[in-house]
């Protein structure tokens, strides 16, 4: 087994959807015991939406849920019941970290805000991931990933200059904010171990998304220059874009940063006329002839296989890559052999799970299928609360553990 640095750390996880659960998944992958809190009344919505196996509609088999919640435990706990709040506090008294990504005041209204929890456990680490944070005129705004990437400026810079802005095709903020969260939580654990002090951490998903911009904000603040949409082109590198290749809707991405790369590209594509022009050796000259260059490249790439051409250009020192679709990622691309793992599911299907994009001492971190809804409820009650089977049954009958 890969040594896991967070083994022995316990997280009571109230997160739902994607951004929060992916952050706590990283903690679980690193060895933390993450107990995911759900109830029938407050089911994690991501169980209900997204990809399901053919002919199946079940809260257990949603592919996104299973990707976001591997290596966790699941406990049913009704926070709308007074006893549910009491049990939540008893669990937190035996935990190191509490996480949520609700609206800013939700945990406070349950009596589970940071001040409430400090009274239970003075060194508790509480991490909240509200979309807009708790300060500022828009703290009351609500959004899912599509709105967050729009507010964060990504949509406004994505697309072609003569067309309306477009999204990124994926809810990018949901898959990047979690790494900010996990890093800050791990830092808080390190600080607590050094000083004995707990911490309240708030991650604004909106602010984390602004961080995904390049230098556009700085350019505006310093120079007053407002960056416009430029499609696949770059203001620093030319050529820089995607070009058609053989097959239906198949493309290759190519970027040239220097004279040597330019000459290598021209040689690899047989662009002898462009290669002989000294005015194109430097980026300034290539920018002036960008349309001509892109036409010339497209005329040569359109007859080539994207994968074979990318390999040939890479060997010549030119940054190039096939524009992969999901079939490539899960099939043709050899990276899937170590990055993706197929795991049997009790429902009779299998889940293709993603490892974290890292290795620990050269090994992948352990990966275990996401829990079934409430599958660890009785075990958690016994282990952490000292309740026997009869007491657990009574709480189920009262509507507390459901």
- The pLDDT tens digits of the residues spanning 5-38 come to 999 999 999 999 999 999 999 999 999 999 999 9
Task: Encode pLDDT of 178-204 as tens digits.
Answer: 999 999 999 999 999 999 999 999 999
**pLDDT confidence of residue 80:** 96
Residue 221 covered by a domain? no
The CATH number of whichever domain residue 149 belongs to comes to 3.40.50.10540
Task: Encode pLDDT of 228-280 as tens digits.
Answer: 999 999 999 999 999 999 999 999 999 999 999 999 999 999 999 999 999 99
The CATH number of whichever domain residue 279 belongs to comes to 3.30.1540.10
Residue 182 covered by a domain? yes
With a cut of 60, say whether residue 1 has pLDDT above it. no
Omega before 173 cis (within 30°)?
A: no
**pLDDT confidence of residue 237:** 97
Please tell me which residue, 326 or 125, carries the higher pLDDT value: 125
**pLDDT confidence of residue 55:** 87
With a cut of 80, say whether residue 113 has pLDDT above it. yes
pTM across the whole model:
0.93
Chain centre to alpha carbon of residue 307: 27
**pLDDT confidence of residue 91:** 98
**pLDDT confidence of residue 338:** 84
Our count of domains for the chain comes to 2
Residues 153 and 193 in one domain: yes
Residue 3 covered by a domain? no
**pLDDT confidence of residue 170:** 79
pLDDT-above-70 percentage for the chain: 99
Residues 313 and 348 in one domain: no
Provide the mean pLDDT of the chain. Answer: 94
Residues 315 and 389 in one domain: no
What is the rounded distance in angstroms from the CA atom of residue 44 to the CA atom of residue 29? 20
With a cut of 90, say whether residue 116 has pLDDT above it. yes
Task: Encode pLDDT of 310-360 as tens digits.
Answer: 999 999 999 999 999 988 988 888 777 788 888 999 999 888 899 999 888
**pLDDT confidence of residue 333:** 84
**pLDDT confidence of residue 362:** 87
Query: Which one, of 295, 292, 323, 296, lies nearest residue 309 by Cα?
Result: 323
Domain end, chosen from 292, 322, 352, is at 322
Tell me which of 97-101, 138-142, 308-312, 333-337 is least confident.
333-337
Residue 216 covered by a domain? no
Residue 129 belongs to domain spanning = 10-211+338-397
Residues 184 and 308 in one domain: no
Q: How many angstroms separate the Cα of 190 from the Cα of each of 7, 29, 122, 130?
A: 13, 17, 16, 23
What is the rounded distance in angstroms from the CA atom of residue 90 to the CA atom of residue 70? 25
**pLDDT confidence of residue 2:** 62
């Amino acid at each position: 087994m890969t040594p896991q640095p967070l083994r022995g750390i316990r997280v009571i996880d109230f997160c739902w959807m994607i951004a929060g659960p992916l952050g706590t998944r990283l903690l679980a992958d690193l060895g933390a015991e993450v107990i995911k809190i759900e109830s029938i009344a407050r089911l994690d919505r991501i169980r209900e939406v997204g990809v399901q196996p053919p002919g199946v509609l079940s809260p257990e088999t949603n592919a996104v849920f299973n990707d976001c919640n591997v290596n966790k435990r699941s406990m049913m706990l009704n926070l709308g019941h007074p006893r549910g709040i009491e049990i939540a506090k008893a669990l937190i008294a035996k935990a190191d970290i509490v996480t949520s990504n609700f609206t800013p005041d939700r945990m406070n209204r349950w009596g589970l805000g940071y001040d409430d929890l400090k009274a239970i456990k003075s060194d508790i680490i509480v991490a909240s991931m509200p979309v807009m944070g708790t300060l500022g005129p828009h703290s009351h705004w609500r959004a899912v990933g599509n709105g967050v990437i729009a507010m964060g400026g990504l949509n406004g810079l994505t697309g072609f200059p003569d067309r309306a802005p477009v999204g990124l095709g994926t809810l990018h903020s949901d898959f990047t904010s979690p790494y900010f969260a996990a890093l800050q939580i791990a830092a808080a654990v390190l600080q607590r171990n050094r000083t004995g002090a707990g911490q309240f951490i708030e991650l604004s998903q909106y602010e984390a998304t602004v961080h995904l911009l390049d230098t556009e904000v700085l350019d505006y603040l310093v120079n007053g220059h407002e960056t416009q949409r430029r499609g696949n082109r770059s203001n620093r590198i030319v050529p820089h874009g995607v070009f058609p290749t053989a097959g239906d809707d198949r493309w290759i991405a190519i970027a040239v940063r220097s004279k040597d790369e330019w000459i290598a590209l021209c040689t690899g594509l047989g662009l002898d006329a462009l290669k002989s022009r000294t005015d194109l050796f430097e980026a300034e000259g290539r920018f002036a002839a960008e349309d001509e260059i892109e036409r010339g490249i497209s005329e040569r790439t359109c007859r080539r296989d994207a994968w074979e051409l990318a390999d040939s250009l890479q060997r010549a020192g030119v940054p190039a890559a096939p524009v992969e679709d999901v079939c490539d990622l899960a099939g043709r691309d050899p990276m899937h052999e170590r990055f993706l793992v197929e795991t049997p599911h009790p429902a009779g299907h299998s889940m293709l799970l993603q490892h974290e994009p890292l290795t620990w001492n050269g090994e992948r971190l352990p990966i275990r299928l996401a829990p079934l809804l409430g599958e660890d409820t009785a075990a958690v009650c016994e282990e952490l609360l000292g309740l026997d089977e009869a007491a657990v049954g009574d709480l189920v009958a009262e509507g507390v553990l459901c």
